[in-house]
Amino acid sequence: MEDGKFIRPYNSIGLEDYLKGVVPAEMPALWNQEALKAQAVAARTYAMSYINRTPDDTMSYQVYGGYTWHENSTKAVKATEGQVIGYGEKLHIGSDALFSSSNGGKTESNKNVWVGPELPYLMVKEDPYDPQAVWSFSVKKQQIDLTNLDLTKADTWWANTKETEQTPVISNIRAWLQKNGYTGKDIKITAVPHLSLHALTSGGRVSKGSITIEFIVKEKGKALQQSVILEDVTASKIRDIIGLSFMKSFLVDKVDTARDVINVSGKGYGHGVGLSQYGAKKAGEKGNTYHEILAFYYEGTSLKQAYEPEPEEVEPVKPDPAPVIPTPIPTPVPDPAPKDETAPAIKDIKTYYDSKTNQVKITFDTNEKAKVTVEVKDEKEQIIASLVKGDQKPSGSQLAIWDASKVSNGSYSFEVRAIDSSNNASSASVPFSLTKPDTAAPVIKNTNTSYDSKTNKVFLKYEINEKSKVIVQVKDAKGKIQATPINNAEKNAGVQWTSWNVSKVSNGKYSFEIATIDRNQNKSSATVPFTLTKPDTTAPSINHIKTSYDSKTSKVDLKYDINERAKVTVQVKDAKGKILVTLTNNAEKNAGIQSASWNVTKESNGKYTFTITAIDPSKNKRTTTTSYTLNKPAAKNLTGKVNATKLNVRSKPSTSGKVLGSLKKNQIVTVITKSSSWYKIQYGKGTGYVHANYLTNVR
């Protein structure tokens, strides 16, 4: 009776009959006799190490198929009966008679696979007989994209969400997790982001490896993110996780992780120490005897006779109807304690928000003593708090507290990591939605205004810290509403933009009035002043032009309006366009009524033009003309009396002028004008000049 639950049957059998069940289970029974003989001798030698012990029927000892004997393999066992592999004075090498399916073309040293000294008959060497069978496996780095999955509501998608690859490799990884800390857990593999195999032995085989497994565990309707990180563990550990049928040996040719798929390839099947079964087959086919085959794979050894063959063939021992339980059962020799390569389990994770203390509490269990780290991350995966920093914690319930008083509501995650004394690491990620009662008004910040001359719009930029309904109005300097760009629109937290079309608005001082109301009716407002200064592209206006003639001063007065400050030039042109006079020359004038006057004393009646040019500070220019007809009244003629006996009349107002004739004393003449000391008078049908000293009573 075993464990008080079931009966364990034992098969008590002689060594040679035992080998008749081992050889066809370890090597195909139809292979050539020399290969089968080599296998029989190696199996017999190996079995000598557990005489008087109780082996099982698995690879832990040798695969034993029971009474499924085969004629061809039985023949090989009989032909080698009692023969074992010896070395020096040793009758047999016992459990050092190692063998594997294929060494991939190169044998491996026992020291590179197991602890202990290197044996001279199990050295590294090239194998010309092994067919070097290749193997490969692949696994996609990402298996499930969690981006659009609500981890707090796993029941809504769990059943319909599967790994990208429904392959035995993924199944093996999942099964390994369930055997190592996650027994009975519903697990999905989300990613295998890292796999490496390294630390080559002298036989060219990998001895170390690292792997990261990310997965989710469903607990109470939530999907908890977790990971197992194994760094520099034995390559056999990695092989256990992937599966012996896929990573068939440690003779790895390539590990390609450059893309989104990890590809691993290699040669051989098994540890590669000692006899290669496929190599023995090939050697036998080439004519080598089993003596030569064994001498090659166990170099320096010799065949020895452990016991003499039975004189007569013994019929197979038939099992009794009932199992025979030997008494007493030999006590098995315990194997050395295996190295701990199992990562700590993190489970039963719970979170709770305490509104009184404004704290979030996280509790979880660990199954062994470990150094624990607990961090809080925001939506951008940035660490915002470290609650536990690698503290040594005993196995059992753990507690960490996060002060959330200065943190906004939103989505966060707790990242829990545990590292045991053997440096096995595991981690778990737990999403948490923080929802504190809202008593704070929305914050309006980072306001800014800018004018775009191309679109003739003013842009307002601002930021709000939470989702709110927003009103934005534009007011002028007197507080009058000019526009409402946003009218009670719901806006999410973040940067906001709005614009105001100012194409029909004058330059001046304005303000944007921003009002916000959050979902809890908390209100806030902000005023953003803005001075509108659109570039001037309009030329000055020149209006209300008027002209008038003043006969007393003999001047023409010009009046006009300009609508803005400008530099003004006013000119008078005759009928032929010739400039006669410039009344105002590039003079700075303010907006309003302007004036200029033109002395026309010496001008003849006729048509003239006033040209007014105004240039504003933006270099916008306008020129306006107005016509004017000069019509001065005829001047009253003056007369004078000659007081000289004889007064010469000359052609010009000078004594050098030609004498045109002369006047008598007391003669009355018509005076036209006076120029300095000369009078211009009417003389005959023309005019002439006389000296002013010789005319009296000119009036």
- Condensed to tens digits (0 to 9), the pLDDT of residues 283-341 reads 999 999 999 999 999 999 999 999 998 775 555 555 555 444 443 434 344 444 456 77
By DSSP bridging, strand 695-696 and strand 638-642 are antiparallel
Cis ω before 328 (30° cut-off from 0): yes
Please spell the DSSP secondary structure of 172-205, one letter per residue: HHHHHHHHTT-TT--EEEEEEEEEEEEEE-TTS-
Residues 6+ apart with CB under 8 A from 634: none
| Separation of alpha carbons 624 and 50, rounded Å | 125
Mean pLDDT, the chain, rounded, equals 90
- Mean pLDDT score, 621-634: 90
| Separation of alpha carbons 346 and 398, rounded Å | 10
Q: Which of 532, 561, 589 is the last residue of a domain?
A: 532
Residues 632-667 have pLDDT tens digits of 886 677 899 999 999 999 999 999 999 999 999 999
Q: Tokens 């059962």 sit at which residue? A: 329
CB 209 within 8 A of CB 234: yes
Residue 621 sits in a domain whose CATH number is: 2.60.40.1220
By DSSP bridging, strand 606-615 and strand 646-650 are unpaired
Would you mind telling me the total number of residues written for the chain in this entry?
699
Structure tokens at 492: 């999410």
Residues 138 and 224 in one domain: yes
Q: How many CB atoms lie within 10 A of CB 369?
A: 15
In this model, does residue 361 exceed pLDDT 80? yes
Residues 559 and 644 in one domain: no
Question: Does 338 reside within a domain?
Answer: no
Question: Does 333 reside within a domain?
Answer: no
Q: Which domain holds residue 402?
A: 346-434
By DSSP bridging, strand 222-234 and strand 425-434 are antiparallel
Question: Does 293 reside within a domain?
Answer: yes
Structural domains in the chain (count): 6
Residues 526-566 have pLDDT tens digits of 999 999 988 888 899 999 999 999 988 889 999 999 999 99
Residues 426 and 366 in one domain: yes
Element (H, E) at 228: strand 222-234
- Confidence at 689, pLDDT banded by 50, 70, 90: very high
In this model, does residue 597 exceed pLDDT 90? yes
Question: Does 315 reside within a domain?
Answer: no
3-state helix/strand/coil string of 26-85: HCCCCCCHHHHHHHHHHHHHHHHHHCCCCCCCCCCCCCCCCCCCCHHHHHHHHHCCCEEE
- Confidence at 601, pLDDT banded by 50, 70, 90: confident
Please spell the DSSP secondary structure of 447-503, one letter per residue: EEEEEETTTTEEEEEEEESS-EEEEEEEEETTS-EEEEEEEEEEE-SEEEEEEEE-T
58 to each of 55, 61, 63, how far by Cα in Å? 9, 6, 5
Question: Does 259 reside within a domain?
Answer: yes
Quick one: pLDDT at residue 330?
A: 40
Residue 690 sits in a domain whose CATH number is: 2.30.30.40
- Mean pLDDT score, 198-202: 95
Residues 250 and 281 in one domain: no
Structure tokens at 82: 């009692």
Residues 22 and 84 in one domain: yes
Structure tokens at 506: 């004058």
Q: Tokens 């990884």 sit at which residue? A: 173
CB 192 within 8 A of CB 173: yes
User: Residue 173: phi, psi to the nearest 5?
Assistant: -65, -45
Residues 6+ apart with CB under 8 A from 467: 490, 491, 492, 493, 518, 519
Residues 362-394 have pLDDT tens digits of 999 999 999 999 999 998 889 999 999 999 999
Residues 120 and 145 in one domain: no
Residues 259-284 have pLDDT tens digits of 999 999 999 999 999 999 999 999 99
Quick one: pLDDT at residue 129?
A: 96
- Confidence at 517, pLDDT banded by 50, 70, 90: very high
Residues 472-506 have pLDDT tens digits of 999 999 999 999 999 999 999 999 999 999 988 88
Question: Does 237 reside within a domain?
Answer: yes
Quick one: pLDDT at residue 356?
A: 83
Residues 422 and 501 in one domain: no
Quick one: pLDDT at residue 403?
A: 94
pTM for the structure as a whole: 0.52
Residues 95 and 70 in one domain: yes
Residues 450-471 have pLDDT tens digits of 999 889 999 999 999 999 999 9
CB 246 within 8 A of CB 86: no
Quick one: pLDDT at residue 112?
A: 92
Q: How many CB atoms lie within 10 A of CB 581?
A: 13
Q: Which of 532, 564, 584 is the last residue of a domain?
A: 532
Q: How many CB atoms lie within 10 A of CB 640?
A: 21
- Mean pLDDT score, 168-191: 94
- Confidence at 191, pLDDT banded by 50, 70, 90: very high
Share of the chain above pLDDT 90, in %: 75
Buried b / exposed e along 415-429 (16+ C-beta atoms within 10 A): bbbbbbeeebbbbbb
Please spell the DSSP secondary structure of 513-551, one letter per residue: EEEEEETT--EEEEEEEEEE-PPP--PPPEEEEEEEEET
Residues 412 and 497 in one domain: no
User: Residue 197: phi, psi to the nearest 5?
Assistant: -135, 130
Please spell the DSSP secondary structure of 238-294, one letter per residue: HHHHH-TTTS-BS-EEEEE-SSSEEEEEEE-BB--BSEEHHHHHHHHHTT--HHHHH
Residues 231 and 144 in one domain: yes
DSSP state, 125?
-
Residue 516 sits in a domain whose CATH number is: 2.60.40.2550
Candidates 560, 570, 566, 469; CA nearest to 514 is 469
Structure tokens at 238: 């990695």
CB 201 within 8 A of CB 209: no
CB 178 within 8 A of CB 238: no
Cα of first residue to Cα of last residue in the chain, in angstroms, is 167
Residues 115-169 have pLDDT tens digits of 789 999 999 999 999 999 899 999 999 999 999 999 999 999 999 999 999 999 9
Quick one: pLDDT at residue 315?
A: 56
Residues 223-233 have pLDDT tens digits of 999 999 999 99
- Confidence at 437, pLDDT banded by 50, 70, 90: confident
Residues 113 and 145 in one domain: no
Amino acid at 339: K
Quick one: pLDDT at residue 673?
A: 86
- The tally of CA atoms less than 13 A away on the side-chain side of residue 643 is 9
Quick one: pLDDT at residue 558?
A: 95
Quick one: pLDDT at residue 329?
A: 37
Question: Does 112 reside within a domain?
Answer: yes
| Separation of alpha carbons 177 and 171, rounded Å | 10
Quick one: pLDDT at residue 328?
A: 41
Q: Which of 434, 469, 495 is the last residue of a domain?
A: 434
Residues 139 and 262 in one domain: yes
CB under 8 A, 24+ apart: contacts of 167-176: 167/139, 168/243, 168/245, 168/246, 169/137, 169/138, 169/139, 169/242, 169/243, 169/246, 170/139, 170/143, 172/241, 172/242, 172/243, 172/246, 173/213, 173/241, 173/242, 174/215, 176/240, 176/241
- Mean pLDDT score, 434-461: 89
Question: Does 421 reside within a domain?
Answer: yes
Element (H, E) at 296: helix 290-297
Quick one: pLDDT at residue 422?
A: 87
